[in-house]
Amino acid sequence: MKERSKLAGTHRESPLLAAAGVDSRPSGTMQMEMPAVAAARGGPPRICIVGPLPPPEGGMANQTRQLAELLRSEGFTLEVVRTNMPYSPAWIADTRGARAVARLAAYSKALWSAFGRCDVVHLMANSGWAWHLFSVPALWIAWLRGRAVVVNYRGGEAERFLAGSSRLVRMSLSRATIVAVPSRFLRRIFANHGVPCEVVPNIVDLKLFAPAALPAVLTRAPHIVVTRNLEWIYDNETAIRALALVRQQFPDCRMSIAGIGPEQGALRRTATECGVDDAVTFVGRLGREAIAAMYRSADIALNPSRVDNMPNSILEALASGVPVVSTQVGGVPYMVDHGRTALLVPPQDPKAMADGIIRLLRDRELAHRLASAGLADVQQFGWPAVKDQWIDIYSRLMPVMRGKAQ
């Protein structure tokens, strides 16, 4: 048994860190710990994070929860205003117009109250209606309250969104002090629309997502896992069609798909049409611990998305020591090196995806090399490597807030 956790002993430049725009050399220049912030600013900033929280599980919701937990562990006073807060009263959820008004009123009230208690606002932002319904009110209320804001934009459809709404978005973004994105891919898109950004990468929980042993010999029933919600942009249909092709050579191969969404019925029909309904398990919504356990049982992690930024699912698979096959869309090619840390294939191409899977199932040495290199790279995305960047941003926002606070 070769251990997935075997790491190279020497440092090398990390393409994952390059994707995030971070210097991967051993740290020595940015050691902004809590005592330094306290001394420089008269105490650690009181932070309000605005963003979604689980349930349901999802990339941004998990990042919001994880960041809040980690900042609290560093001694920050922290409050979270949920953008997906439950409807109150519950019955209003069935009334379209009324529920929108009720949620906006409750959300705005929560923002006004929380911003009165914080120094810095950390706004988790996305594209489309989520921007207009949640980010815009937060930005203008923070401005009225005299609070400095870092907009932490994470949407994978940034190009289309900014192209269609650039003027409106820039008007609201002018209320932010700093815009931070998790990858060079997004920084380039925002720069094309005249918006400068800083890059702070996503965080992966390296304690939870840890490697098991990758068998030297392929198991009788290889296990492929997909951890994307059942939505059009994540194209689980292509994953299922690829499985059908793989099973022509590996008839016992099986797939687990973790996620929920409106495509479930159509995806079940696709599995039946392809003759793999007995080999595809829709496991539904899973918590972080269950996702980590599923990765530990996996032979290959698959990312079939049509649109993407810097998906947590790939970071978690790499941290779990699982070889990855992904579509080469959005920011994914900025994260991994084809043939070194993952295999990349064109989107919406079941044959190419199946070929990548079969290649890893047949060539166990390649699978081990990809898993080992990916695991080495992803260590740079643990909290110890990322926290100083956020603390530095918060410390820079403090004098801005104090100059404006009402």
Neighbour-count burial of 90, counting CB atoms closer than 10 A to its CB (0-12 exposed, 13-18 middle, 19+ buried): exposed
399: confidence class by pLDDT, cuts 50, 70, 90 = confident
* Residue 13 pLDDT exceeds 60: no
Within 10 A of 95 (CB to CB), how many other CB atoms are there?
12
Q: What are 324's strand-pairing partners? A: 301
What's the average model confidence in pLDDT over 290-306? 97
* Termini Cα distance of the chain: 62
Closest alpha carbon to 210 in 296, 310, 324, 335: 296
166: confidence class by pLDDT, cuts 50, 70, 90 = confident
Cα separations in angstroms, 348 against 327, 351, 404:
8, 9, 50
21: confidence class by pLDDT, cuts 50, 70, 90 = low
Enumerate domains of the chain plus CATH numbers: 31-203+382-404 (3.40.50.2000), 213-380 (3.40.50.2000)
37: confidence class by pLDDT, cuts 50, 70, 90 = very low
* pLDDT value of residue 7: 37
**Cα–Cα distance measured from residue 370 to residue 268, given in angstroms and rounded to the nearest whole number:** 31
* Residue 358 pLDDT exceeds 70: yes
Give the pTM. 0.83
Range ranked top by mean pLDDT from 7-21, 56-70, 207-221, 303-317 = 303-317
* pLDDT value of residue 97: 67
What's the average model confidence in pLDDT over 274-303? 96
156: confidence class by pLDDT, cuts 50, 70, 90 = confident
pLDDT, tens only, 100-118: 788 889 999 999 999 999 9
pLDDT, tens only, 38-88: 444 456 789 999 999 988 777 899 999 999 999 999 999 999 999 988 767
